[in-house]
């Protein structure tokens, strides 16, 4: 299992460039407002229910991403160069 920093970094690399402004705001709120990162991990893995205020389309995307249906190797955090790449 991945821990939250790896999970959120991989999710960000794959999704941030394609998110709307509203989705980016939801993502920013999700990763900054909860006081405990483990809560986000538990919500993403569906070990605990997501509180209504964070149960947005972005949370649904993160839950789906966490399922890793394509069985990708996710053994480390991505390099940060993706933050400086132009959107595809």
Long-range contacts of 66-75 (CB under 8 A, 24+ apart): 66/7, 74/2, 74/6, 74/7, 74/10
Helix (H) or strand (E) holding 29: helix 21-32
Q: What is the pTM of this model?
A: 0.71
* CA 66 vs CA 19, 26, 27: distances in Å: 17, 17, 15
- C-alpha–C-alpha distance, residues 74 and 7, integer Å: 8
pLDDT (tens digit per residue) in 8-46: 888 988 999 999 999 999 999 998 998 888 899 999 999
Lookup: tokens for 6:
């790896």
- C-alpha–C-alpha distance, residues 5 and 30, integer Å: 13
């Amino acid at each position: 299992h991945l821990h939250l920093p790896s999970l959120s970094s991989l999710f960000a690399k794959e999704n941030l460039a394609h998110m709307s402004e509203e989705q980016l705001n939801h993502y920013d709120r999700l990763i900054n407002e909860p006081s405990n990162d483990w809560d986000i991990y538990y919500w993403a893995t569906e070990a605990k229910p997501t509180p209504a205020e964070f149960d947005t389309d972005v949370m649904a995307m993160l839950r789906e991403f966490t399922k890793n249906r394509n069985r990708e190797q996710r053994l480390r955090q991505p390099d940060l160069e993706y933050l400086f790449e132009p959107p595809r």
